[in-house]
Amino acid sequence: MNKINRREFNKTLVKGVGGISIASQLPFHSLRNRFDKKSLGVALVGLGSYSRGQLAPGLLETEHCHLAGIVTGTPAKAESWSKKYNIDKENIYNYENFDQIASNKNIDIVYVVLPNAMHADFCIRAAKAGKHVICEKPMAISVAECDAIIAACNKANVKLSVGYRLQSEPYTLEVKRIVREKVFGELRYVSADAGYNSRGNPDQWRLNYALSGGGALMNMGVYAIQSAIYGSGQNPTSVSAQEFSTRPEYFKDTDEAIAAQFEFPSGAVGNIFTSHNANVNRLYSAFDKGWVELNPANNYGPLSGRRSDGEIIKFPHKRQQSLQMDDFAKHILTGSLNRAPGEMGKRDMIIVEAIYESIKKNGVKIDLNLGRLGIVE
């Protein structure tokens, strides 16, 4: 298992952080008054744009968990976060002393929000420390690393979840219901697109293969794969894929855009498209007697949906990350459904590896054997 040098990792982050960043300005206040015995302490490992803009603000809105600790290699971040969120000094760690978190009773869950190539290392270390684990998507950079994370969590008897925020989001759950209950009959076709136009710093870690393990497919492509699966209610049986490059001077190390075609056990077919050079954000499922669409389908929300019978799908907006983390906390506390278990992350990485294999073989169809995982949707 390859490990990224912590010092080099910090240097890379200074150069630029990729992905979609949504700024959030929050007033300083203490969370301590609302903690109770039913609220689990979460430590965020990595304080980049997603932790700063989504996870930390989301933990201000959760009911069953709260921000209790942080792990960062940047002392200035440790100081500013400590002041902003009233985090006690004993709950602040760096990448070198992270394993000492094992003795911290204030922290129940470790959320790994590092570059993809560092997921396995810190998830396994968190499990060995006896902490429940949330691993940001994609789960790892290989199926083998997914297996290692799952094995470590099983051995330590801790719970594991992947950071699939949309699995707790009401629009997504409504599409699942429509598919499951066959509101419009049998599925015939599904199309899922997920991407954005990257014009930022070319040195960002998402464009560095050693840190990301891939490009658009390993970032937004995971959403497209997920959408195609819950938009069909089936795991694909085969995939073929093609890669496109229009800006090779910018995407020097990672894939810019990928299209893939799925076959499903019912006979239905599907397409996905993912890109770091195009703003695409849609799910469309066609059935015998109608269709359902989410557009947008995978951003931070609010999402929007409609059906062929004229019905508009609409729900009150709530931060997806809050819903996701509360669902996992409830799973730990009550044994409720784990909406995004490690096996789901492994399944998606099997599909990712098959897509890359198909591209290397000029689009040849690759058979998949996913039923054994027992994970659909």
Which value, to the nearest 10 degrees, does the dihedral of the CA atoms of residues 349, 350, 351, 357 take?
110
Q: What pLDDT sits at residue 200?
A: 85
Place of tokens 């994609």: 138
Residue holding tokens 């695409």? 280
Q: Tens digits of per-residue pLDDT, 225-260?
A: 999 999 999 999 999 999 999 999 999 999 999 999
> Which parts of the chain have pLDDT scores under 70?
1-37
Tens digits of residue pLDDT in 87-109: 999 999 999 999 999 999 999 99
Q: Any idea which residues carry the catalytic annotation?
A: 137, 223
Residue 244 pairs with which residues in a beta bridge?
257
Q: What does the chain come to in residues?
A: 377
What are the structural domains of the chain? Answer: 6-166 (3.40.50.720), 167-318+342-373 (3.30.360.10)
Q: Which of 245, 256, 246, 259 is nearest to 214 (CA)?
A: 256
CB 171 within 8 A of CB 162: no
Asked if residue 168 lies in contact with residue 194, where contact means CB atoms within 8 angstroms, the answer is no
d(CA 26, CA 265): 48
pLDDT of residue 377: 80
Please report the pLDDT score of residue 18 as a whole number.
Answer: 37
- Which among 159, 85, 156 has a CA at the least distance from the CA of 327? 159
Mapping DSSP onto H, E and C, the string for the chain reads: CCCCCHHHHHHHHHHCCCCCCCCCCCCCCCCHHHCCCCCEEEEEECCCHHHHHHHHHHCCCCCCEEEEEEECCCHHHHHHHHHHHCCCHHHEECCCCHHHHHHCCCCCEEEECCCHHHHHHHHHHHHHCCCEEEECCCCCCCHHHHHHHHHHHHHHCCCEEECCHHHHCHHHHHHHHHHHCCCCCCEEEEEEEEEEECCCCCCCHHHCHHHHCCCCCCCCHHHHHHHHHHCCCCCCCEEEEEEECCCCCCCCCCCCEEEEEEECCCCCEEEEEEECEEEEEEEEEEECCEEEEECCCCCCCCCCEEECCCCEECCCCCCHHHHHHHHHHHHHHHCCCCCCEHHHHHHHHHHHHHHHHHHHCCCCCEECCCHHHCCCC
Strand order, beta sheet including 132-135: 92-93, 65-71, 40-45, 109-112, 132-135, 160-162
The reported pLDDT for the residue numbered 371 is 77
